[in-house]
Structure 1
Amino acid sequence: MADSAASQAFDILILGGGSAGYACALRSAELGFSVGLIEKGKLGGTCLHNGCIPTKALLHSAEIAENAKTAAKYGVKASFESIDMPAVNAYKDGIIAGKFRGLTGLIKSKGITVIEGEGKLTGQDTVTVDGTAYTGKNIVLATGSYSRSLPGLEITGNKVITSDHALTMETLPKKALVLGGGVIGCEFASVWNSFGVDVTIIEALPSLVPNEDAAIVKQLERAFKKRKIDFSTGVRFAGVEENENGVKATLEDGKTFEADLLLVAVGRGPVTANLGFEDAGLTMDRGFVITNERLHTGVGNIYAVGDIVPGLQLAHRGFQQGIFVAEEIAGQKPVVVEDVNIPKVTYCEPEIASVGLTEAKAREKFGDDAVVTQEYNLAGNGKTSILGSAGLIKLVRQADGPIVGVHMIGGRMGEQIGEAQLIVNWEAFPEDVASLVHAHPTQNEALGEAAMALAGKPLHG
């Protein structure tokens, strides 16, 4: 995979070849810089090999399974028999392999030098890889994240697993516990439920997907109950024991759960330990690299991007930050995008898509009297009815001002996030969006109708 390093000195030297690192490398090369890209594993990082792409492939298999189960409703004679996990994995792995080939070919075509091995920051302009020192006029740290656990909770890889293990399972459990009701936990719970697994989610916070708007949370929990995905919220996890039959998990209130396995989905931690960051003088906080708003660490010409920078741990955030730093180094003064204005999608069924402030955060920022909201029930949307889905779109507006939050839940709502993030980032008023023409019949027109209602001229309300 790797090119031999003809030179050991570069304009930009990047440590980590995941979404943030390779995006920085590609944009840097386009801008005419010589680029060295250090990666100990495979280019593409977690997103391509252990995150975004494989999980969404599983979710698509789950959607196909649900379609088979409900085919008769749509006049199609079909039946659901079972899940063939080796075949599911072959499909998933084929997608990954194709994307990996494309990425490696693109990196090579741009003249980027790929350096294989585990790098360590050994100076303000130096990264050492397996005993060889490479220098960069600018250093970009993009070392990514790993699946976290809880103190005292050992990941055995057998009956106590992380999402990494879950992506390579050849057989399905009959019953599974999911520790964590955030994005990862809800996505795997959704997949396994569609595959016929009895799933229970355990979440310490008062609700599932706790960072989403309360109206969206309510809809998701209602949908999960309808799908018979059980969940226990608001009580902390105490411990788990493995036995010959599986696992027995205990909560702090004494409640116990038994299952074949426990998936630990309590978030991801930054990969920064023993990489020389502290020795180089970087400011660290709980393993994260602290930067200013322009992603500079305050030390030399060292920048940090992606999951190692505090904030949202999203591939597209890292991708944008990688591009940002390349353009920053080139003196182009790119625009800073705040985390709150970065779109988020949880690909469970129903899908959640959001960008901007929740109603609670908006009221906290602007005051109760300065916030107006509008909810549009997707039951009134023709395409949603055709798809057999349900859900809602909620808009949050600063009174007499722009839309500051868009929150959606329903089938395939992630496909609507493009317009939503433009609305929020361009500070559009409801009247601006209401005047646009949204194609019929699409789910996208529901976003337009929500804006029309918020602008005081509801069409179907």
Structure 2
Amino acid sequence: MADTIKTKVLIIGAGTGGYVAGIRCGQLGLDTVLVDGGDGLGGTCLNVGCIPSKAIIHAASKFETVAKAAAGGTLGITAAQPAIDLSQTVAWKDGIVRKLNAGVAGLLKRAKVKVINGWATFSDAKTCTVKTADGDIVISAEHVILATGSEPVELPFLKFGGDVISSTEALSLDKVPDKLVVVGGGYIGLELGIAFRKLGAEVAIVEMADRLLPLYDKALTDPVQKWLEKHGVELHLGAKAGSFEKGQLNITTKDGAALPLKADKVLVTVGRRPRTKGWGLENMGVAMAGPFVKIDDRCATSMKNVWAVGDLTGEPMLAHKGSAQGEVVAEIIAGHNKVFNPVTIAAVCFTEPEIVSAGLTPLDVEGRDDVITAVFPLMAIGRALALEAGDDGGFVRVLASKTDHRLLGVQAVGQHVSELSNSFAQMLEMGAVLEDVAGTIHVHPTMGEAFHEASLRALGHAIHI
């Protein structure tokens, strides 16, 4: 007979939305059970997404630096030709993941959250059966937080398996493929494609749209495309992928021609979809918004005391959004008056160079005459030059209202600009005006000076240009 547990809060999914909700529930004194369905504590982001991909990207950049030193020297530094044992790199990456897993486990334990490893299936909105290694457990709860996350989209003619891989398998390869074809020119495909190019793979990218990263404006994506072209990455834009047979991916080019591409591995990164299948969502009676669970500004679903956070709730599908939602829901359950209504959720592409976007973009304000736009190039920032980050076309751009100078959006492209994302988001969240940024004394020499100078330029008096 199955064991039975009754709890105040039941959380399904231990990703960044679920485990943060669990910790906050525990801090607020709520009896909480967290069910981890298999990805591991931290979910996709910690185990097979954000963290491991950035570790591989970091290792690839270090390898590229040594390779440059071996190919005639760089900055007066010379070195022998480098080699890489990718299995050792992956082992190092896995060690980081284990350390963070242990950290999350410790935080949940300290918050007195009961963690159950197993797959949950709901029979109604507040009751589920969890299959564990030790048998079934039936859990009923007063409140349920759904945080099941998302999964890679599989193409019907490119099923995952063998040499057709998703980002998950790409982060655990034991050797660098000689020829890698990436299907999908979004941020995941480009981040990993660039990393493997730095590691020595021949890389081709196949994208259906006419340009890479189509959700961003061309000014932001041009420096990335120039890096790819300069480093010999084969680009097939406006092209469609087809079948993969005997080490060859068949594609149809923009002009309709058939073209075979040799590939040791085909990395399919055409997007992610919410994980809504296989755990009884259809038995819970919650309303949907297309493929996503519909929520209001409190992250409440249409079923009383059933909440949803993270990728399950729609775009942007970003880890930090899920974490923020998880905190809000925990506090609402504890009786606090909270809503989830951020001014912005900044996004970063860890490409070469990096891209940051927060708030409105030129695409959002196209045709409006009440917006000031100002751009400041990184080539005019001393710190950028000293970091070899000033000659790739990078810049910081601000958009503000002409009437009251309220910041509406901030974007940047360039090396290391991901570290500026929190400053951009903070200023937007606080309702800052251009004068607030301009009046803040920015530390010299830093990359953040470009934000200061862009704001000064929008006011008509940049100093260093």
Identify the TM-score tier after normalising by the shorter chain: over 0.9
What does the per-residue CA deviation read over 1:114-171, in whole Å, with 9 as the maximum and x for residues that have no partner?
1121001222221221242211111000111111122333122x22111111111111
What does the per-residue CA deviation read over 1:408-430, in whole Å, with 9 as the maximum and x for residues that have no partner?
11111101111111122222111
Question: Partner letter of residue 138 of structure 2?
Answer: A
Residue of structure 2 equivalent to 1:132: 137
1:202 aligns with 2:206: yes
After TM superposition, the structure 1 = structure 2 runs for residues 108-187 of structure 1, keeping only pairs within 5 Å, are 108-130=109-131, 131-156=136-161, 158-187=162-191
| C-alpha deviation, 1:335, in angstroms | 4.2
Partner SS state of residue 364, structure 2:
helix
Structure 2's unaligned 5+ residue stretches are none
1:351 aligns with 2:354: yes
- TM-score, normalising length: structure 2: 0.93
Question: Partner letter of residue 358 of structure 2?
Answer: V
Q: Give distance in 2, aligned partners of 1:323 and 1:249.
A: 46
| C-alpha deviation, 1:272, in angstroms | 1.1
Moved more, 184-193 or 217-226: 217-226
Q: Give distance in 2, aligned partners of 1:328 and 1:362.
A: 35
What does the per-residue CA deviation read over 1:233-257, in whole Å, with 9 as the maximum and x for residues that have no partner?
22333x12220xx122212623422
Contact 1:247-1:262 at 8 Å conserved across structures: no
Residue of structure 2 equivalent to 1:459: 463
What does the per-residue CA deviation read over 1:288-314, in whole Å, with 9 as the maximum and x for residues that have no partner?
211122211111210011111111111
After TM superposition, the structure 1 = structure 2 runs for residues 221-370 of structure 1, keeping only pairs within 5 Å, are 221-237=225-241, 239-243=242-246, 246-251=247-252, 253-256=256-259, 257-338=261-342, 341-363=344-366, 367-370=367-370
Q: Give distance in 2, aligned partners of 1:417 and 1:229.
A: 28
Residue of structure 1 equivalent to 2:19: 22
Residue of structure 2 equivalent to 1:50: 48
Contact 1:278-1:284 at 8 Å conserved across structures: no
Q: Give distance in 2, aligned partners of 1:444 and 1:370.
A: 26
Correspondence for 1:392 among 384, 395, 412 = 395
Residue of structure 2 equivalent to 1:427: 431
After TM superposition, the structure 1 = structure 2 runs for residues 68-147 of structure 1, keeping only pairs within 5 Å, are 68-71=66-69, 72-130=73-131, 131-147=136-152
Partner SS state of residue 355, structure 1:
strand
1:11 aligns with 2:12: no
Contact 2:239-2:251 at 8 Å conserved across structures: no
Residue of structure 1 equivalent to 2:379: 379
Contact 2:152-2:166 at 8 Å conserved across structures: yes
Q: Give distance in 2, aligned partners of 1:85 and 1:133.
A: 43
Contact 2:371-2:399 at 8 Å conserved across structures: yes
| C-alpha deviation, 1:6, in angstroms | 9.9
| C-alpha deviation, 1:398, in angstroms | 2.3
| C-alpha deviation, 1:7, in angstroms | 7.4
Q: Give distance in 2, aligned partners of 1:220 and 1:108.
A: 43
Q: Give distance in 2, aligned partners of 1:79 and 1:410.
A: 29
Runs of 4+ in structure 1 deviating by more than 6 angstroms, as ranges, are none
Contact 2:180-2:202 at 8 Å conserved across structures: yes
Question: Partner letter of residue 76 of structure 2?
Answer: G
| C-alpha deviation, 1:387, in angstroms | 1.0
Question: Partner letter of residue 124 of structure 2?
Answer: G
Question: Partner letter of residue 244 of structure 2?
Answer: E
Partner SS state of residue 36, structure 1:
strand
Contact 1:247-1:261 at 8 Å conserved across structures: no
Moved more, 308-317 or 213-222: 213-222
Q: Give distance in 2, aligned partners of 1:286 and 1:268.
A: 14
Q: Give distance in 2, aligned partners of 1:393 and 1:230.
A: 28
Q: Give distance in 1, aligned partners of 2:412 and 2:172.
A: 31
RMSD (Å), alpha carbons = 1.7
Contact 1:146-1:271 at 8 Å conserved across structures: yes
Question: Partner letter of residue 98 of structure 1?
Answer: K
Question: Partner letter of residue 83 of structure 2?
Answer: S
Moved more, 372-381 or 205-214: 205-214
Q: Give distance in 1, aligned partners of 2:455 and 2:113.
A: 45
Q: Give distance in 1, aligned partners of 2:94 and 2:341.
A: 33
Q: Give distance in 2, aligned partners of 1:422 and 1:349.
A: 25
Q: Give distance in 2, aligned partners of 1:419 and 1:65.
A: 30
| C-alpha deviation, 1:285, in angstroms | 4.3
Residue of structure 2 equivalent to 1:219: 223
Partner SS state of residue 307, structure 1:
helix
Contact 2:125-2:283 at 8 Å conserved across structures: no
**How many correspondences in the alignment?**
449
Q: Give distance in 2, aligned partners of 1:80 and 1:438.
A: 40
Contact 1:187-1:346 at 8 Å conserved across structures: yes
Alpha carbons of structure 1 residues 370 and 430: separation in structure 2 relative to 1, 3 Å: same
Partner SS state of residue 362, structure 1:
coil
Contact 1:63-1:194 at 8 Å conserved across structures: yes
User: Percent same amino acid at aligned positions?
Assistant: 35
| C-alpha deviation, 1:404, in angstroms | 1.1
Contact 1:16-1:37 at 8 Å conserved across structures: yes
What does the per-residue CA deviation read over 1:182-226, in whole Å, with 9 as the maximum and x for residues that have no partner?
110010111011001111111112221112233101222122212
Partner SS state of residue 140, structure 2:
strand
Residue of structure 1 equivalent to 2:60: 62
Q: Give distance in 1, aligned partners of 2:49 and 2:79.
A: 32
| C-alpha deviation, 1:11, in angstroms | 1.3
Moved more, 52-61 or 258-267: 258-267
